[in-house]
Amino acid sequence: MKRSLQMITNKQLIACREQIFSYNDNYQVPFYGRRKSIAEIKELNANLKPGETIIISQPLGTGKSFLINHMISTRDLNVPVATKSLVPKTIGKDKDVLKSFPGDTIVVDEADIKTPAKKLIEGIKNLADYLDDTGKKAIVIGDYTLHNKDISGALKRRVVLNNFEPIDSDFLRGVLRERFKKFLLDGIDTNFDLNSVIEPALIEYLTPSWMDYANSFRGIFSLLQKLVADKELIKYNSNQAYLTVDMVREMLNTDDNENYDEPQKLFLEYLKQYIKEKYPKGRGINNGFSVKELFQLQMNIDDKTGIVEFEEEILYPLAVSGMLVSTGVPGFSKDTKEFIRRPAPYFPSLELMLLADEL
């Protein structure tokens, strides 16, 4: 006998929004996908020689730590279950913490722009020395900072993970389906249809192919969490929950632009128009925008702004605010000993894309 489709109500979705759209480790969400990454890490790990390091270098919020923690919990790595990763900041301050890490493979997380460059360098140096001295191995997880030799150069014997599945629509659907199943469907494998809760077009919008390697679960889930928390758009009632592209747009449009000053707002408006005309639905943005390309747009608005000023006063704030997604390798200033965070190339964020397409 055919079972009826499971209906998710607004009430249920509101109650479980933090779990379903969780992007931190506050909730134990089911692991899904990443078969290729797991297979490659297993192989790299099996062949890892003393003193060597596996480098997992991907953008923030893409699920690197979740992947490694999952592999630890399933005993796919020779690290005791429930071991907490070390972070460079702690290792930099006290290298003896490395001695307390159990087993032969040390896991170091957050080797990224969140840690001040000086502390990151110190931490990585202490780790490298320790590996040299003891012949132990390591897995280091971080963002593209790890590509910068000025910062991570101390780790000389490194093998880099190549397979890290991009967040495409199938991946996102799989992740969401598992989470709905766990948190709202009592773990029962019902004939639940994700399309009945989230408009297919919204899933497509959230996972554009041109953004494969710049997209993040955090970007997607924070947007969805914010949408479900919007009391104007999602009322607490027993109606069927259904999240749509239009709702996201409405939410973004009511989000005022007060975070930006006038030159930033002008540039943002111009950029939306440019994307809409030249890259409809983002098609063609393959390698992201260079500073030069974006500066040309600025010149059409105001030819008095210099490129350095443009980078500092307009581009960087837009990257900090998440409107532009940086995919460049963070730099390091030897003078100030500080990071040069969020460099080009840039991709438009999901928010920016949704707003641009609406014009």
Where does this chain bind other proteins (CB under 8 A)? 18, 23-26, 60-61, 84, 87, 89, 110, 112-116, 218, 222, 225, 229, 258-259, 317, 320-322, 338-339, 341
**105 by DSSP, 3-state: which?**
strand
Q: Which of residues 26 and 162 has its CB atom nearest to other proteins in the complex? A: 26
What letter would DSSP give residue 9?
B
Q: Which of residues 44 and 271 has its CB atom nearest to other proteins in the complex? A: 271
Q: How far is the CB of 318 from other proteins (least distance, A)?
A: 10
Q: How far is the CB of 180 from other proteins (least distance, A)?
A: 19
Please list, in sequence order, all residues whose beta carbon lies within 8 angstroms of the beta carbon of residue 7, skipping any fewer than 6 positions away: 196, 240
Q: Which of residues 45 and 215 has its CB atom nearest to other proteins in the complex? A: 215
Q: CA-to-CA distance for 237 and 109, rounded, in angstroms?
A: 41
Alpha-helical runs (H) found in 23-158: 35-46, 64-73, 88-93, 117-134, 149-152
**C-beta separation of 80 from 302 below 8 A:** no
Q: Which of residues 44 and 234 has its CB atom nearest to other proteins in the complex? A: 234
Q: Which of residues 24 and 74 has its CB atom nearest to other proteins in the complex? A: 24
The structure tokens 């989230």 sit at: 198
Q: Which helix (H) or strand (E) holds 326?
A: strand 324-326
Q: How far is the CB of 221 from other proteins (least distance, A)?
A: 9
Q: How many CB atoms are closer than 10 A to CB 187?
A: 11
Q: How far is the CB of 94 from other proteins (least distance, A)?
A: 11
Q: CA-to-CA distance for 316 and 17, rounded, in angstroms?
A: 31
Q: How far is the CB of 65 from other proteins (least distance, A)?
A: 9
Q: How far is the CB of 90 from other proteins (least distance, A)?
A: 8
Q: Which of residues 12 and 264 has its CB atom nearest to other proteins in the complex? A: 264
**C-beta separation of 324 from 348 below 8 A:** yes
